[in-house]
Structure 1
Amino acid sequence: MADELMGVGASAFIAPTPDQLRHQWLSVLERQHPSAGKRQVNLVPCEVVLSHRASLLMDHRKYGSGSAHRAEFPVQHLARLFKRPPTSILAKMANLDGTRSNGGRFELEVAARLGDVEMLQGVYLRILDMARALGIDPDELPDFLGIEGTSLIELEGQYELDSSEIERSLESKLEKWERERTDVPIETTERLLVAAVRVGQHRFAQRVLNNHQHKCVFCGLSGIIGGKRRPRMLLASHIKPWRDSTDRERVDHTNGFTACPTHDIAFDTGLITVDQDLSLRYAPGIEDDMTVSPPLRRALGKPPLHDRLILAESSVRPDVSYLTWHQEEIFVAG
């Protein structure tokens, strides 16, 4: 009967009724911290979904059992609210992306289906609405996706991904999953792996934007206008493109620049490059063309470009290896 009150099957996670959500949260609120050596109760569906959504902000693979207490926001908040150790939240995140193979029966299907942004937004907001109705305030459960009552979820950096390139990059991983995870339907596996790529790109873009304080590194344009962040005013792109990068390079924020659309395209197409000392350099012919083309001068002249990359003191510099790659492979040198 208790299971039925909380919901049964995948729908308990992705399409819970208000009554089911109420019972899920009440079970969390009534829970006591387990005694030493006593097994924890299983996570209820709303806990699973919130743990899954935390992956948009942080990578669980960075932490082990000895470092879980240092895991980034919102892991510690969720652990306190759920009356669980941080290792429990990180383990659930690993179950949900297939890193570990001992998750709950419906969890991989749920994780795959929550790759749909509209679906994940809807269930996330319903979970938060019920939590607020039961007295769980933002201090206990922050709106860590920042969409409560105002905005829509928008995954960062997705414009840089091409579906065919994603498919090619996942071929070997799909073959490995087919050999090792025969319990998972191939359709679920494909959706999971594609979702993992998109989440990884989102986290990469967030780190790049934060590293450059949401300003174009070429001209200084801020993406915060009129007191609000305007996402399409700035792009977070790879220096060495995603399609040419290894898995590690794809999530390395020192392989990224924040740029306004004009200067992002100029860099991506090799009209400008950045030297090791962070000075900007034009492709041959650009400066001559600017003398006869006022629009080009207004777009690529100095100003608006600066002589050197614009970085705050706290910003991590781009890795030289990526700058060298761009000069050798992308820059229109002659």
Structure 2
Amino acid sequence: MAFTQADYFDLTQAQAAQQWQDILARSWPVAGKQVPFVPVETLLCLAAMFVVEHSRFGSSSAHRAPEPVQSLARLVKRPPTSIIAKMNNLDGSRSHGASNDLLVGSVLRTDPRAMADLYRVILAAGRTAGIDSATLPDFLDVESGRDLELLGQDELAGGALESVVEREIHEWLVDDVEERVTERLILASLRVGQHRFATSVLDSWSHECAFCGFAMHDEVRPTLLRASHIKPWRDSKARERLDASNGFAACPVHDAAFDAGLLTVTDDLDVRVSDRLTRTIDANPPARVYFTAPQLRGRVAVPHNGRPPGKSYMEWHRTRVFVNTPASA
């Protein structure tokens, strides 16, 4: 059966319920033969792209891809390689995907509200069909009505996003895909990639400011914490933009000071304050509150199982941001 754009964008709970019944009635494929993906499966693969960096996994490593890839594969009776391949179709990495994959992937990754609404329709239909949260977990955490918020998007402002698209569009162009569509795919991939990066950084730092320990452990957004790159997003290569070791979780004050080069961190994780900020601390009591102990740690403490900042990124910051920060006379 050929599906139209409306079958994806206007999916109803009744349609999703029927597709779930068909999926649950499936047998595991024999000799690699698989039935075509239905919209419910395609949209769940797309939703999983907000969580999983699928480009890290190929045919030989798909079995190691994190959740929800493995749960989805078991539920829809496909190998994990098929789930990863569908993700690649949706972001344009594979040029022979289904006809609607590129459009669905580019539109819904830049429209989190529409993505969340469709995801809730699919979950509701699945629950009606008897699929519980252990079998199909709410991996976007929006089933209860919470918004799907793309984290870390402030780093893409000020022309940064446009400059990267212009610089890298030639690397994305594929046959039979016009440049306008390719540009939309890049924008979607960059925005969702930044969201995954920010989520990973916040998780790595246990949702606490690396510089002062500020946290709001109430699972309500906004948290006030930011997950920013050490080597700025606009200056990073594609791999570096997605690397969680290229980031700190920080409160707004210390995040801004770090980005401005007023703070940096050594390879031994000691916090260094610039001469310019030191003079301000001496002359301004409020600055003293934020940038001396105990509010400012002398050393950032990487949580257990967290990812320490990469030394190459820290060196970039010390030599390109911190050292070159202008100081007042």
Match of 1:58 among 52, 60, 66: 52
Within a 5 Å distance, the mapping from 1:215-230 to structure 2 comes to 215-224=208-217, 227-230=218-221
Aligned-residue offset at 1:176: 4.9
Q: Would the aligned equivalents of 1:219 and 1:310 in 2 still touch at CA under 8 Å?
A: no
**Contact 2:13–2:122 at 8 Å: present in 1 too?**
no
- Which residue of structure 1 lines up, in the alignment, with residue 81 of structure 2? 87
For 1:186 and 1:246, locate their aligned partners in 2 and report how far apart those are by CA, in whole Å. Answer: 21
2:127 to 111, 126, 132: 132
Which structure 2 residue ranges, 5 or more long, are not aligned? none
Alignment of 1:208-247 (within 5 A): 208-224=201-217, 227-247=218-238
Deviation at 1:120, TM superposition (A): 0.7
Aligned residue identity for 1:20: Q
Deviations 1:255-297 (A, max 9, x none): 1000000000011101111112111111114334323322111
Which one of the candidate residues 270, 274, 291 is aligned to 1:300? 291
Query: Percent identity of the aligned residues?
Result: 43
Which residue of 233, 251, 269 maps to 1:260?
Answer: 251
Cα distance change of structure 1 residues 129 and 255 upon mapping to structure 2, 3 Å threshold: same
C-alpha distance in structure 1 between counterparts of 2:171 and 2:255, whole Å? 36
2:185 pairs, out of 192, 205, 209, with 192
* Cα distance in 1 for residues equivalent to 2:17 and 2:219: 34
- The CA distance in 1 between the partners of 2:171 and 2:62, in whole Å, is 28
Identify which of 99, 102, 105 aligns with 2:99.
Answer: 105
State the match for 2:37 in structure 1.
Answer: 43
C-alpha distance in 2 between matches for 1:154 and 1:148: 13
- Name 1:290's counterpart in structure 2: 281
Does 1:148 pair with 2:143? yes
The residue that corresponds to 1:28 in the other structure is 23
Q: Take 1:102 and 1:89, find their aligned partners in 2: how far apart are those partners?
A: 15
TM-score normalised to structure 1 length: 0.92
Which letter does structure 1 place at the counterpart of 2:17? R
Please give the alpha-carbon distance, in whole angstroms, between the structure 1 residues aligned to 2:281 and 2:32.
72
Say whether residues 1:207 and 2:200 are aligned partners. Answer: yes
CA apart distance, 1:15: 1.1
Match of 2:8 among 1, 4, 13: 13
Q: Which moved more, 1:18-27 or 1:44-53?
A: 18-27
State the number of aligned residues: 324
User: Aligned partners of 2:265 and 2:42: how far apart in 1?
Assistant: 44
The answer on whether the counterparts of 1:272 and 1:283 sit within 8 Å (CA) in structure 2 is yes
Deviations 1:155-214 (A, max 9, x none): 111111126322221225434555x322x3433322211010011111111111111111
Partner SS for 2:272: strand
**TM-aligned CA distance change 1:87 to 1:304, over 3 Å:** same
Distance in 1 (alpha carbons) for counterparts of 2:240 and 2:86: 26
Are 2:155 and 1:160 aligned?
A: yes
- Cα distance in 1 for residues equivalent to 2:71 and 2:182: 30
Q: Quickly say closer, same or farther: Cα 1:287–1:45, change in 2 above 3 A.
A: same
In structure 2, what is the Cα distance between the partners aligned to 1:97 and 1:163?
25
What TM-score do you get using the length of structure 2 for normalisation? 0.93
The one-letter amino acid paired with 1:191 is R
* Conservation of the 8 A alpha-carbon contact between 1:283 and 1:333: no
Instruction: Provide the aligned C-alpha RMSD in A.
Output: 1.8
Amino acid at match of 1:15: D
Following superposition, the deviation at residue 329 of structure 1 comes to 1.4
